[in-house]
Structure 1
């Protein structure tokens, strides 16, 4: 992550982690009060992440949209579920972000994590490990118990879990996992898939942005 950062503006970035080189897009609005890392693992979430990033940026929150897999790794199903590997990569990313902040190359900002599907337990585990650095988390779908019981019980950042109301298995599993948490948390059910995908994406984006805005620390 040695690229010159455009502020305000968009900066394509690459992040070395282990043997992999991850790709992401850093987007910073002119009015900036926090940074949220939007993680995915190999799938194509462009419409979802684009809609979410726009809403967050209108709320004064910068975004780093990050793929935790390389293109070569996407065809291997097992790696999508490798929480330990993906968590190490996200931890490396946070370390680099903090370094850029300390060097003055990025504004010093509170950091949030947002993930969906297979990346939900990854974000939760990382937040538990970096509890002083993460101000809030949003997970959409996925099984958060895969983060591990130790991490569930030690999480301190406020957590919002969004689940489709027609996904009874995931809802039940996540409700059980939330009983292990001592931090502030909520589970919200999303309506079934809308015939208007843009409206559905907008609803998720608004819920997500509201959570981060509500829990965003006041900058000195």
Structure 2
């Protein structure tokens, strides 16, 4: 983990979740982008950028919690665990946990058009379709389809659901229940040699979401 991001979380017992996408398109083709979140007082989204394959890192776009450097309460603005991905136009779509349920029990969506240098307020919104009980979620883009997975419930970590969108998350076409009972964090991927399946690794249980880890293989075009 880059030292700057570790320092941001120094002195707390809260780990930072990071993702390392590399831009495939302009602007800033080849850039590495790491986005994480701060601690309980210094909350918000923080991104680190590298344009030399990870040899040097610097801070990029941030969206700090409000209030900042102050104890939070329900209803405060604090985007937390998040995942960025690149869309076909080269922009960065960031989907974040809404830690203190500002505005809704739903996800915070941000967009950057300069390689995660900035996340303009004009492109920050709340997706009320993506309800959440405050948990990490996952998103994946492939062949014109944006996928999103999380426990789809406003207060409980249950009902892990896969949704998909054909317009970059403006609307959600449909959904699939992966596991209806206790479920929590999830992560998605595809194999380079298997474009017909989406793999979802997720926390799964009956009474508690942390009873086990499970891997779901979802056929995207029918069949096994």
**TM value normalised by structure 2:** 0.27
Q: Greater RCO between the two (CA within 8 Å, min separation 6)?
A: 1
The structure that is helix-richer by fraction is 1
The structure that is strand-richer by fraction is 2
**TM value normalised by structure 1:** 0.28
User: Highest CA radius of gyration, 1 or 2?
Assistant: 2
